[in-house]
Amino acid sequence: MRPREERPAACAARGPRPRIGPASGWLAVEVGLAGGRLSRSDGPRAPPRTTPAMEELLRRLQETLDVLSPQELRNFRAILKKVDEEPRVSPLQLELEGGSTSGLARLVAKHYNPLAAPRVVVKVLRQLPRTDLLPRWQSDPAADGAVIPRKILKRNYDCVDGDLERYDLSGRRKAFLMCMKKNRPGADQDVVLMKQWLGQCQFEYTLCIDPDKMELLEKLASFRDGLNEIKDEISCCLVTLMSHGEKGCIKIKDDDRVSLEDIFEMFNNKNCPALHGKPKVFIIQACRGERRDSGVETDDEPMDSDNVLETKRLPTFSDYFIIYPTQADHVALRHPRTGSVMIEAMTEVFQQYGNKWHLFDFFTKVNNRVVHTEFYLREEPVKVSLVMESTLTRSVYF
């Protein structure tokens, strides 16, 4: 098996078998309290005995609540009063006991048994929405991957609650997945991995395989028009394009070129009003040129205004996030059996960490894995680094 660039097969058809990268060992490639809540009694009583299950529940609750912003904590208390799980927490209990995160954690832990409490927390998190915290409460708490994401770092200026806002992704998530398989060994595996990743991130996707130029543009336009028709239901759009490529474009059937800027423009605020203020994510798996990097050896939120009646305006291009598999003018890497290096790293990082991080941090971790993996092309070292371009105004959690 040989490492391949994202170029026609004839361009990478020669050369000896690749070596195993010494740093990573990868093939160098293109590639429960029973009985409900505690009861009350008149007069003095002994404090409830803490069980291991109670201690674990308290710890998980505290970790979750510590991640929430002040506004999210207020919303958490409001939702908790109305959550569909008996017995409900009363407003008086919340006022007396739930003023702090530690008090709120103790209140939930003693009010619900360790089996019911996770259901309650899941219901509240879904309504916040903080779906990025759900895996912690829907899986084995002792699992290695069950990690609470770190709280977003506070900025040192102009902070109201101290946390960067998150996009509301409680609506439908729509994705377009295009892949050119011809002359791209390993592309089948890319499609499998991307379908898996999109499913885990709760996307409904439209598949487009080996289109010609007209078919691709028509399907993209149809996909975009479909978003505009269900405007109020859409919360996020993701477009994945996997093909050969060169600077500023992708190459498809019959060696036709399609400009990436033309595709990005189809989903801007002028042409796709359904996505106003909503994240538009583009994952591009294609070469951006022919240069190769052999590496270097080393030693080691919108502003608010009062009493102003005016139409809200947005830049033509906003809320975009674009990820490329390599630097400008450079080749991308793909293995003929395991698929593209970036796509494989994406799925591995997601399997390990899930949706614990917002999008930029997630791809930073993916890039870390790619950058520190050794690859060889025709026995020559080749290094790649992912490139992120962003006009996002909030954090994206899938």
Average pLDDT over residues 365-374: 89
Q: What is the pLDDT of residues 280-332, one digit of tens each?
A: 999 999 998 888 777 665 544 333 333 333 456 778 778 899 999 988 888 88
Q: Is the pLDDT of residue 166 over 50?
A: yes
Return the active site residues.
244, 287
Query: Which residues are CB-neighbours of 185 under 8 A, at least 6 positions away?
Result: 4, 9, 334, 336, 337
Say if CB 331 and CB 289 are below 8 A apart: yes
From the candidate CATH numbers 3.30.460.10, 1.10.3720.10, 3.30.590.20, 3.40.50.1460, the one assigned to the domain spanning 4-31+166-293+312-390: 3.40.50.1460
Q: What is the pLDDT of residues 152-164, one digit of tens each?
A: 433 333 333 435 5
Of 113 and 195, the one with more pLDDT: 195
Token reading at 78: 């409001």
Name residue, tokens 């990268």.
Answer: 21
| Alpha-carbon separation of residue 16 from 1, 2, 19, 376, 384 (angstroms) | 9, 7, 9, 10, 21
Token reading at 337: 């059996």
- Neighbour count for residue 264 (Cβ, 10 Å): 16
Q: Report the half-sphere exposure of 296 (CA within 13 A, side-chain side).
A: 4
Average pLDDT over residues 17-41: 34
The predicted structure's pLDDT at residue 138: 66
Q: Which architecture, in CATH terms, is 52-138?
A: Orthogonal Bundle (1.10)
Q: What is the DSSP string of 20-69?
A: BPTTT-PBP-----TTSSPPP-SS--PPPPPPHHHHHHHHHHHHHHHHS-
Model confidence, pTM: 0.56
Say if CB 257 and CB 249 are below 8 A apart: yes
Of 389 and 116, the one with more pLDDT: 389
Average pLDDT over residues 221-237: 93
Token reading at 218: 């028509």
The predicted structure's pLDDT at residue 245: 92
CA 277 to mean position of chain CA atoms: 17
Q: Alpha-carbon distance 387 to 328, whole Å? A: 8
Share of the chain above pLDDT 90, in %: 33
Q: Is the pLDDT of residue 241 over 60?
A: yes
Domain boundaries, the chain: 4-31+166-293+312-390, 52-138
Q: Is the pLDDT of residue 190 over 80?
A: yes
Q: Alpha-carbon distance 395 to 93, whole Å? A: 33
Q: Alpha-carbon distance 200 to 347, whole Å? A: 10
Q: Which stretch, 134-143, 264-273, 304-313, 323-332, has highest mean pLDDT?
A: 264-273
Q: At what angle do helices 341-353 and 187-200 cross, to 10 degrees?
A: 30
Q: What is the pLDDT of residues 33-74, one digit of tens each?
A: 233 332 333 344 444 456 777 788 888 888 888 888 887 888
